[in-house]
Amino acid sequence: MELANKTIIITGASSGIGAAAASLFASEGADVVLGARRGPELQAVVASIKSAGGRATFLAGDVRDTGYAARLVEHAVTTFGKLDGAFDNAGIVGDMTPVPEMRVENWTDVLAVNLTSAFLSARAQIPALREQGGGSIVFTSSFVGFSNGGMPGMAAYAASKAGLIGLAQSLGAEHAAEGIRVNALLPGGTITPAAGEGNRRPEFHRRASPDEADGQSQGDRAGGGFSPERPGIVHDGQPHDG
C-alpha cells in the first residue's frame, strides 16, 4: 500500500474530488482526517471508509474560519499521532458573472474559500510536517487558473486558482530544504456538485477528456503527491494532460 502509515488531512471532503480522494487514500493505507462544512455528509464518507476497512475521522468546520485549519491539524495529531500530508481541496465556483456586474461579496468569498483557506491550511500544517521531518501538501487548482480557455464570467474563480499555483510554487521554494513538497493539481472539467453535477455545466464538461470527467480520477492524481513512487502531478504549475 503506497500510503500505509501516513496521516493525511483532506478538506472539501464531503463530496466530489475530496470524498473520492479520501476513499482512495484510505484504500492505500492512509489514516485520513476529513474536513468540510457539512457534518452529515462527512460522517457518511467516514462510515463508508470504515466499512471498507479503512481508518478515518472528521471535523466539520468552515475553511474561512482562521482557526479551523489549526483545529484540523490538532485533531489529526490527537487521533493518529502525527501529520504526513494534506490535500487542501476546498473550493467553490461562485457566480459566473462578468466583472462589471460582479458583486464584491462574490469576489471576496471565492478568494476566501479557494485561496485564503489554502494559505491558512498550509500555515497550520507546515509546522506539523516539519516535526515529522517532511511531508507533502497538494492544492486543488484548475486548468482555469492556468489558461482560462475562453470561459466568460470566471474572473474570481480563475484568479483564485491562479493564486494557488503561485502559492504552491512559493511554499515549495521556502520549504523544499525541510523535505516538504508542495504541489498543485490542475484538473480539467470534472463532474462534481461544485461544478454542476446536477446540470452538467457545458462550460466545464465540454473541456473534460474521458479520463478527467469524474472525481475518482482526480482523486487518483492527487494521490501522486503523497507517494515518491507516483510523483504524477504538477511541480511547476503545468496542467496535467492525463
Select which of 157, 165, 180, 203 is catalytic: 157
In this structure, is the dihedral angle defined by the CA atoms of residues 212, 18, 146 and 238, taken in order, positive or negative?
A: negative
Active-site annotation holds for 68? no
Determine contact, residues 151/178, Cβ cutoff 8 Å.
no
Residue-level length of the chain:
242
Specify burial of residue 197 (Cβ count, 10 A radius: 0-12, 13-18, 19+).
Answer: middle
What is the rounded distance in angstroms from the CA atom of residue 7 to the CA atom of residue 83?
A: 5
- 17 phi, psi to nearest 5 deg: -60, -40
CA-based max dimension of the chain: 51
Distance between CA atoms of 86 and 102, rounded to whole angstroms? 32
Active-site positions read 157
